[in-house]
Amino acid sequence: MATSAIPTLHDVDPTDGEKPYPKFKNEAFLNFGNNDVKRAMQQALSNVEGQLGHEYTLVIGGERVSGSAKIRSVNPARPAEIVGIHPEAEPEHVHRAVAAAAKAFSTWKMVPVSERAGLLFRAAEILTVKKLEYCAWLTYEVGKNWAEADADVAECIDFLEFYAREALRLDQATSPIQFPHERNRLRYLPLGVGAVIAPWNFPLAILCGMTMAAVVTGNTVVIKPSVDAPTIAARLMMLLEEAGLPDGVVNLLQGSGDLAGRMLVEDPQVRFIAFTGSKKVGLDVHERAAKARPGQHFLKRTVLELGGKDAILVDVDCDIDAAVEGVAASAFGFNGQKCSACSRAVVDARIYDVFLDKLIERVQGIHVGEPALNFAAGPVISETSFNRVINYIAVGKTEARLVTGGAALQTDTGGYYIQPTVFADVPPDARIAQEEIFGPVLAVIRSNSFTEALEIVNGTQYGLTGAIYSNSRERLNMAAEQFHVGNLYLNRKCTGAMVGAHPFGGFNMSGTDSKAGGADYLLLFTQGKSIAEKLGILDDDGDEFRHPDGI
């Protein structure tokens, strides 16, 4: 929950370690089985429905800026329904936004950490009050059902609360050793102007988390959300302004990665890029950021959260029903459109048939329909995504055995619906077992031993999340050592990382393992400055004196 009082550095006594603010606690999820909560959500959906189709602006240096070209965001469940209309940034807008961020940095970096953290605490408090409203926006713009939308908003609140506290803690950092006859200090300074390039699948939580981690540490940013979720970004910008965001600290651009995104990455004033998205785009960002441009006098830093081909290992002695539930929830929650989603189930041959039969029954019970009506599964995000997933299903039919799903669902609304799809007897090197699909498609792979199962789960270029279901402590311990992913879960699903408890980020081609929501994350947006002062030069009155040892 949001705090009622904003802590300041004057309240922090570093000598006794007491904290003047409540201990961090993850935001509680809503119970939509409660009739009062259900009615409140339905009212929020109705209220937001009345605001669909509104035209928004870019925000540069606090000014509302229009443009001639437009981005029309649509409801993936009803593509004829426009959620919001946004200007598409032109090159001059990118230059203006970077200049505005650079100007704001000269003052924002000097603002006390307590005040910067206070901005985050206020934003969390406002968002807590408006939680259902933002859930409704997520439902309309990206097709999240009520629980998935609630999880997105709750994570956003958690990021704000957690990073505010972490910034206050980081400000109290000290050198681990005090060298004799010196005063040694360690300060973490902001980097400067940054670019935040965010995805559509967690368009509130991830955008807010990357943005405000940079802001609370004293940086200023230009944000470029996905063209599939521009309205959520505009609404977040409105919330931050309500919380007291100074002009130019966050600047909002809408536009394509090919234009606005690329220009931001290459701008010689942009010191860091925080990016969440596909491996292909992330590698391009990393390569472009590595090249020094004329006028650039620093190495750009990249914070990259990329894709995954996540697996759940199902061991021979596991609770099969629990494993089936974990696999189904991880594979088909939000229609498989999470970088942490389970896209491979690696199952011991001795329980393979029993597991598969139970899984098919469970998946066939997933009801697909309009997110606003709170169906378990909804549409994929766009026509482009729809076509990509359908193409992968066609590939899968040539590589393995289709056991359920495998087709588009026709609706009166024209939504981008695809049946939850399961392939069995998938070779570990099949395309559907190696390439990120980002849709409701699961590959079930047979393993003949635990050693082979570990080889299979590690046998992709990714290393984001994974899980194992087993009742063997020995094999759980082996997985903890040998299952090569950034986030590993034992006897639970591989999605649903909680801020603070599960710092999130992956290995290999899954990114820079930045561990969002963890104690180290803010360090990525800072640079450490060590300050050593020789003692004994001046006394308290300003008079010179010498130590007895002659130093």
> Across-strand partners of 194?
221, 272
Tell me the three state secondary structure of residue 371.
helix
Active site residue 135: no
- Distance between alpha carbon 381 and the CA centroid of its chain, in Å? 17
**Buried-exposed string 460-476: b where 16+ CB fall within 10 A, e elsewhere:** bebbbbbbbbbeeeebb
Using left for φ > 0, alpha for ψ between -120 and 50, and beta otherwise, residue 8 falls in beta
Rg of the chain taking only CA atoms, in angstroms:
25
Catalytic residue among 135, 156, 318, 339: 339
Type and span of the H or E element at 467? strand 465-469
Active site residue 156: no
Closest by alpha carbon to 480, among 471, 472, 489? 489
Type and span of the H or E element at 236? helix 230-242
Catalytic residue among 305, 318, 370, 494: 305
- What is d(CA 243, CA 246) in angstroms, rounded to the nearest whole number? 9
For the sheet with 342-348, list strands across it.
Answer: 401-404, 421-424, 441-447, 342-348, 310-314, 465-469, 487-490
- What is d(CA 500, CA 42) in angstroms, rounded to the nearest whole number? 31
**Catalytic (active-site) positions:** 305, 339
